[in-house]
Amino acid sequence: MSCGARPLKKSEVRRKGSRALGRLAAVFDASKNWQNRTAIPVWLHPEQAEKARVDLGALRETVLFGLPPLGVAIAFVEDRAVAQVRVHFDPGGGNWSYVGRDAQTFSMLEPTMNLANVDQRTVLHEFCHMLGMLHEQSHPDRPFEFNEEVVIDEMRAAYGWDEGKTRVNILDKSPQADATAFDEDSIMLYAIPERWTVGDYEVRPDELGSALSSGDVAQLQRWYPGGRADGNDPGAKADDRGGEREQLPMHPREKPVPPDAVLWYVSVGVLGALTLGLLVTSVFARRRAV
């Protein structure tokens, strides 16, 4: 049931001024949002998907139809080198995602999201993290208090989480959040057993939905306005969506590619040239991605 929204180290966090806040449900970290009217290139690890028996076609449908029309598009790409979000499918790796543009901080060799489960709720929850959303339980005005010691002990026993990870993912309130009304229907809310709270507040697992709440939708559309009803996929055929397909430019890569990615290019290039005796182009090298 638990997913880790991975925060950056404090030294890595880039802060921006907060924008005017509206009255909306859901919690959003405004400092990490993607540039609107662009397409976010997302790569799904094909070999890991095959090994984990993940149906990538179904997964893409879940994302594209599960998210509301937004001003940003999700562009599934086959070339890891151009991706800015890289999804792995390590069954033992848990479900987690970096939040928003934090994904740009990592080299192309590293995952920015892992899906150990590909049920609709998990997939949409992690993609909402990727778009900048935080856990609803981190809401500054949540209507309950955690029994912190119980939560920390249980997460340590169940998932091996240390206290810090439990605080970041469950207990801490988010001071950066753009949020007003607490939204019990948010897809970003964990199940909360009664024993975790002071008093009798609880959110039972069977109360959790597998779709975005109206508050989730309103929040995402506020941050990414201008979406069209014909979907989020710039590569979708017009007749799939009943309208003209829209082409959005790829999201700019705002950070330089980290050094190990450069080394990866060089090593793959040299190995390829030695093996084949051919000049290996960088495009060819990219397609040899492990």
State yes or no: residue 155 binds Zn ion (CB under 5 A).
no
Query: End-to-end distance of the chain based on CA atoms, in angstroms?
Result: 30
> Which of these ranges, 1-9, 56-64, 76-84, 116-124, lies near Zn ion under the rule CB under 5 A?
1-9
Tokens (6 digits) for 152? 């920390």
Shortest Cβ 112–Zn ion spacing (Å): 14
CB of 138 to Zn ion, least distance (A): 10
Can you tell me whether residue 88 is helix, strand or coil?
strand
In the bound state, the residue with its beta carbon closest to Zn ion is 3
42 neighbors 233 (Cβ within 8 angstroms): no
Stretch that binds Zn ion, among 5-13, 50-58, 155-163, 262-270 (CB under 5 A): 5-13
Binding residues among 242-261 for Zn ion as defined by CB under 5 A: none
Residue 132 CB coordination number (10 Å): 24
Q: Does 26 bind Zn ion (CB under 5 A)?
A: no
- Rule CB under 5 A: say whether 192 interacts with Zn ion: no
**Does residue number 128 form part of the binding site for Zn ion (CB under 5 A)?**
no
| Residue 80 tokens, joined | 């890891």
Which one, of 96, 134, 117, 89, lies nearest residue 3 by Cα? 96
Closest to 44 (Cα-Cα) out of 74, 76, 72, 66? 76
Q: Based on CB atoms, which residue is closest to Zn ion, 30 or 168?
A: 168
187 in contact with Zn ion (CB under 5 A)? no
**CB nearer to Zn ion: pick between 3 and 74:** 3
Task: Name the DSSP letter for residue 116.
Answer: S
3 state SS for 155-205: HHHHHCCCHHHHHHHHHCCCCCEECCECCCCCCCCCCECHHHEECCCCECH
The C-alpha atoms of residue 239 and residue 281 are separated, in whole angstroms, by: 36
Least Å distance, CB 255 to Zn ion, is 24
Total chain residues near Zn ion (CB under 5 A): 2
Are the CB atoms for 209 and 169 separated by under 8 Å?
no
**Three-state SS for 41?**
strand
123 counts as binding Zn ion under rule CB under 5 A: no
C-beta of 3 vs 39, nearer to Zn ion: 3
Interacting residues of 151 by C-beta distance below 8 A, sequence separation 6+: 166, 170, 171, 196
Of 3, 54, 70, 285, the residue at the interface with Zn ion (CB under 5 A) is: 3
179 binds Zn ion (CB under 5 A): no
Cβ closer to Zn ion: 1 or 278? Answer: 1
Stretch that binds Zn ion, among 4-12, 16-24, 103-111, 154-162 (CB under 5 A): 4-12
What DSSP state is assigned to residue 208? -
Report the residue from 1, 5, 55, 282 that binds Zn ion according to the rule CB under 5 A.
5
CB closer to Zn ion, 3 vs 179: 3
**Residue range at the interface with Zn ion (CB under 5 A); choices 3-11, 71-79, 179-187, 201-209:** 3-11
Give contact residues for Zn ion (rule: CB under 5 A): 3, 5
